[in-house]
Structures are given as C-alpha cells and as structure tokens.
C-alpha cells in the first residue's frame, strides 16, 4: 500500500535534526542513489578513498564541497571545489539500515544556513526532499517496522513521563507485536480445530468443545488485560485529569500549591477565593497529573459563585481521579455527605485537611464509603507524601504499577481490540448456548480479521495517514 506522494523510486533526503544554531546537525539520505550522491559532494581526507565502495557501518572524515561543475560525477574531477563544511559521513548499506535501503548520514556543524546548504547540494545531485515520516514509511514497506512500531515511533516523541517512554520503547522493540502475534496464533489454532469439526461432522466433538471454549476464554482474558491497561496507558501518555474539590475554605488551593511546589493559586482566609478552575501539570512518581483546583462546590451565593460551582461540577464529571477535601476542624454537613454518596462509584480519594487543628470530623462516616482516606495538613506539609502514594496507587491499582504490564494504546488500537473482544464474547456465547459450530467459526474468523488490522496484515489507509500526519520531516 502506498500513501499518495510517498513513492519508493526516488532517493530521499532531509535534515534529521532541528535546524537551529547548535553544535551538530545531521542530514539523512536513503535510496539506491544515496552513495552516488554523497560521492559527488564529499571530499574525504584520504583522497584515494571511494565512499561508494565503503563498507557498511563505517565513518568517513572529510568535507562537503560544492563542485564548480555540477555535471561532474565526483569532486575529484574538479580542480578547485568550494568547501562548505567539515563533516563525518556514516555509511549503512542495504538491508542493514533503518529503511533497509542504502542510507547515508552526514554529521555537520549545526546551523540553519549550513544544513540547508548541504541539503540543497544533495537535492541538486539527484535526491528528492523527503515527506513527513517517509524514512519510517520505507522501513514499514520494507518490513523493518510493523504498524504497531510505527505508532510507537509517533507516540514516543510525545511521551511526558519516563514510564511512558520505557513502555513505548518496548513497543518499538517489538514486545507488543509479539503479544499480538501470540494471540493470532491462538485464534488460528481454534479456527483450525473448528474447521476440522465442521468438515468431519461424523466425528465425536464432545472432547473438542471444552478445548475450544477454554481457548476462547483464555484469549479473551488476555485481550481484556490489555484493554484494562488502556486507561493507565492514557494516563502515562497524556496525563490523567485530577480534580481537587470540596466545600469552600477547606484548603484546596493550599494543597494545589503544595503539590506544585509553587504559589500558583491565590490563598486567603476568605472563603470562595477560587472562582475558576486552575490547571497545571505535575509529575508524581512518574505519573503525569493534569491537576485542577476548583471553586467550593457547595457555595451558591451570587451569579459568579453559581457559575464557578457549575464549572467545578463540569470538571468533576470529566475527571479520572477526584480528591475530595474536608476541613478537619469543621463538622461535615449533609449536603457534602449526600454528594459523596453520589460520587461513590468514581475513582476518588478522600482527604481530611487541617489536621493541625482540633478534629471535629467523624471518620467512620467517611470510611464507610470504602475509599482511600488520607489525613494531611496542606499548610504544614504533613501527609503530602502519603497522599502522593495514594494518588499513584489509585491509578496503578491491582499491580498495574509494574511498568512491563502497561501498553500505550492509540485510540484506533484500543478500538480494534474492543472489536476483537466483542467477537470472542459472541463466540463464547454461541458455544454456551449450543449454536452450531458454523456460528462459532464465523465469530472467530471475524476476530482474526479485525486483529489483522492491528498486526498490519490488513492496512487501514486512514490509520496509516493519521500516523504519518504526526511525523516530522526527517523521521
């Protein structure tokens, strides 16, 4: 499959590093004419050296030059070439390169003028300017990368935490691709067994049915495990939305500032200081947290107050995690208890603040909700470490903190797995309800068909275009 404009006939070139004032810049060339093009503009220190015949994985020191005669096949045929820059040329011959074509990388001094000048010489010598992601696209077409690895390359640039980076690096290495291949092999085995049962109806299948059912259930559980990690992967990749809420004057803004380790929100003794949700991003134990400080959710005085409360509720509805705060020195009223009861199904942490003051809260009422409860003093800084651990565990519960369990899924990948799981559930239902094996086989084949989109055997052109739309030129 070819993306429009991404032909594989021409040799392509692009600046692979950010074009700015820097110590180093790299220009990448890939294609059948890469070595010939470099020979025209590269003058090695050893003038007897022919880079076109150089071995793979070798480095060559010399100069990029502008030949007086553009028709010359090599700079050595020109008596006085104009030196552009001192460089190192790296040779990677096909198929042992990123694209599996001949690849040359020219390491020059950084700087927009230098990089553009060298690139211009390369283009005039027969290369075409690469399109966004075209080097990776050729690696994909040549079997160097699969579509899962392509997605990982696209996402790895946007990684916001080390855990996300490590997870995506494993996917780039091919770990997730191996998992999908294992799932596919399992489904193929089930499909083959079903076909044998259907084609030989006189055989007794009572021994095969439990094996078929067990196989479907096992693979379904594997996919569920991956999908259950989807919210975790989104948290790793995008940062989870965490809202600090509660009555007015319980210390939400003080906690917000304490977590950020800076004075971001206005804090006064006057209740209702916060009128609009304030957002910041903070890293807690490798977790990117998009944290919001909101207005007191029970205050309803005046138009501005009512609008602030409405916005607080909107943020709470969209939150992945809610930190509900109370003032230890105040009795909890029925309005807050009622609201807590309504939110009992949310991922929530209850925080009792101002523990440096005499306590008037009956914790039994709060603990009955079976939510994590943390006692802190945002003003004094006590209990903050425990709160951060609780936040981490609320996201990475049930052992999800093991980073080797986490897969960063793009939306299209999650949707494919959802579709596969739906077919498997349907197949299991057919077996349990005594449908003929044709129905079961049809559902398994549908699951295999959808899984082929994820493994890359079936390519969705829209998915491919979307992936490469996020790539930069030179990648």
Structure confidence by residue, pLDDT tens digits, 124-163? 999 999 998 899 999 999 999 999 998 898 888 877 777 7
Helix axes 461-469, 147-156, angle to 10 degrees: 30
Structure confidence by residue, pLDDT tens digits, 256-291? 888 887 665 444 444 444 445 577 888 777 677 888
- CA gyration radius for the chain? 30
Q: Which strand (E) or helix (H) includes residue 279?
A: strand 278-284
Nearest to residue 121, comparing CAs of 48, 22, 15?
15
Mean pLDDT of 234-241: 70
- How far is Cα 277 from Cα 308, in angstroms, rounded to an integer? 8
Burial letters 190-226, b for 16+ CB under 10 A, else e: bbebbeebeeeeeeebeeeeeebbebbeebbebbeeb
DSSP letter for 172, please.
H
* pLDDT value of position 272: 45
* pLDDT value of position 275: 43
DSSP letter for 377, please.
B
Scan for tokens 């940062």, then name that residue.
239
Query: What CATH number matches the domain at 241-395, 3.40.640.10, 3.10.129.10, 3.40.50.300, 3.30.465.10?
Result: 3.40.50.300
Nearest to residue 226, comparing CAs of 449, 465, 454?
454
Average pLDDT, the chain: 83
* pLDDT value of position 54: 93
* pLDDT value of position 303: 46
Structure confidence by residue, pLDDT tens digits, 35-61? 999 999 999 998 888 989 999 999 999
Instruction: Determine the 3-state secondary structure of 382 from DSSP.
Output: strand
The residues pairing with 292 across neighbouring beta strands, listed in sequence order, are 243, 279
Share of the chain above pLDDT 70, in %: 83
DSSP letter for 19, please.
-
Cβ–Cβ under 8 Å, residues 36 and 126: yes
In angstroms, the Cα distances linking 7 to 4, 130, 161, 274 are: 8, 10, 36, 56
Q: Where in the chain is the domain with CATH 3.40.50.300?
A: 241-395
Q: What is the pLDDT confidence band of residue 305, given thresholds at 50, 70 and 90?
A: very low
Helix axes 162-173, 230-238, angle to 10 degrees: 120
* pLDDT value of position 461: 78
The answer to whether domain 155-229+408-455 has CATH 1.20.120.430 is: yes
Kindly state which CATH superfamily the domain 12-145 is placed in. Answer: Probable tRNA modification gtpase trme; domain 1 (3.30.1360.120)
Helix axes 230-238, 208-228, angle to 10 degrees: 20
From edge to edge, which strands make up the β-sheet containing 278-284?
278-284, 287-293, 240-245, 321-327, 348-353, 373-375
Lowest mean pLDDT among 12-16, 92-96, 306-310, 408-412: 306-310
Scan for tokens 């807590």, then name that residue.
340
Structure confidence by residue, pLDDT tens digits, 361-399? 888 878 888 899 999 999 999 999 999 899 888 876 544
Nearest to residue 378, comparing CAs of 299, 284, 286, 260?
260
Cβ–Cβ under 8 Å, residues 135 and 475: yes
Cβ–Cβ under 8 Å, residues 354 and 316: no
* pLDDT value of position 39: 94
Q: Where in the chain is the domain with CATH 3.30.1360.120?
A: 12-145
Residue 211 has pLDDT above 90, yes or no: no
Between 21 and 29, whose confidence is greater?
29
- How far is Cα 24 from Cα 366, in angstroms, rounded to an integer? 59
* pLDDT value of position 77: 55
- Tell me: cis bond preceding 95? Omega within 30 of 0 counts: yes
* pLDDT value of position 462: 80
Strands 58-66 and 128-129: unpaired
Mean pLDDT of 103-113: 94
DSSP letter for 404, please.
G
- How far is Cα 278 from Cα 291, in angstroms, rounded to an integer? 8
Structure confidence by residue, pLDDT tens digits, 74-107? 655 556 678 999 999 999 999 999 999 999 999 9
Scan for tokens 């005085």, then name that residue.
301
Mean pLDDT of 413-418: 92
Q: What is the pLDDT confidence band of residue 446, given thresholds at 50, 70 and 90?
A: very high
Strands 240-245 and 287-293: parallel
């Amino acid at each position: 499959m070819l993306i429009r404009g991404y032909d594989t006939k021409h040799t392509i070139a692009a600046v692979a590093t950010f074009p700015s004032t820097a110590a180093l810049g790299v220009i990448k060339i890939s294609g059948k004419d890469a070595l010939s093009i470099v020979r025209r503009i590269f003058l090695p220190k050893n003038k007897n050296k022919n880079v076109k015949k150089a071995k793979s994985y070798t480095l060559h020191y010399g100069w990029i030059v502008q030949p007086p005669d553009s028709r010359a096949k090599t700079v050595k045929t020109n008596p006085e070439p104009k030196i552009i820059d001192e460089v190192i040329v790296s040779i990677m011959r096909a198929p042992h390169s990123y694209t599996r074509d001949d690849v040359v990388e020219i390491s020059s001094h950084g700087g927009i003028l230098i990089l553009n000048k060298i690139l211009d010489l390369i283009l005039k010598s027969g290369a075409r300017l690469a399109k966004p992601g075209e080097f990776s696209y050729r690696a994909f077409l040549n079997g160097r990368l699969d579509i899962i690895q392509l997605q990982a390359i696209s996402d790895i640039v946007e990684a916001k935490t080390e855990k996300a980076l490590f997870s995506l690096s494993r996917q780039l290495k091919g770990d997730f691709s191996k998992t999908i291949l294992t799932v596919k092999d399992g489904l193929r085995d089930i499909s083959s067994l079903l076909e044998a049962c259907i084609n030989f109806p006189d055989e007794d299948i009572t021994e095969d049915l439990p094996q078929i059912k067990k196989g479907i259930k096992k693979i379904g559980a594997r996919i569920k495990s991956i999908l259950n990690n989807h919210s975790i992967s989104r948290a790793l990749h995008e940062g989870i939305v965490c809202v600090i809420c509660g009555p007015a004057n319980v210390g939400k803004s003080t906690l917000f500032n304490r977590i950020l380790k800076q004075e971001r929100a206005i804090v006064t003794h006057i209740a209702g200081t916060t009128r609009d949700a304030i957002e910041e991003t903070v890293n807690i134990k490798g977790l990117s947290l998009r944290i919001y400080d909101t207005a007191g959710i029970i205050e309803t005085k005046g138009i501005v107050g009512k609008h602030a409360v409405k916005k607080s509720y909107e943020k709470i509805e969209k939150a992945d995690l809610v930190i509900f705060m109370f003032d230890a020195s105040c009795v909890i009223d029925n309005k807050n208890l009622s609201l807590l009861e309504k939110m009992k199904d949310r991922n929530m942490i209850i925080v009792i603040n101002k523990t440096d003051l005499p306590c008037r809260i009956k914790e039994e009422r709060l603990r009955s909700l079976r939510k994590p409860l943390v006692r802190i003093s945002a003003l004094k800084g006590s209990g903050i470490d425990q709160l951060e651990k609780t936040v981490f565990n609320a996201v990475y519960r049930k052992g999800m903190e093991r980073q080797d369990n986490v897969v960063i899924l793009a939306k299209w990948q999650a949707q494919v797995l959802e579709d596969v799981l739906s077919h498997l559930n349907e197949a299991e239902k057919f077996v349990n309800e005594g449908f003929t094996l044709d129905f079961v086989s049809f559902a398994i084949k549908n699951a295999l068909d959808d899984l082929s989109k994820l493994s890359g055997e079936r390519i969705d052109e829209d998915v491919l275009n979307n992936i490469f739309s996020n790539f930069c030129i030179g990648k």
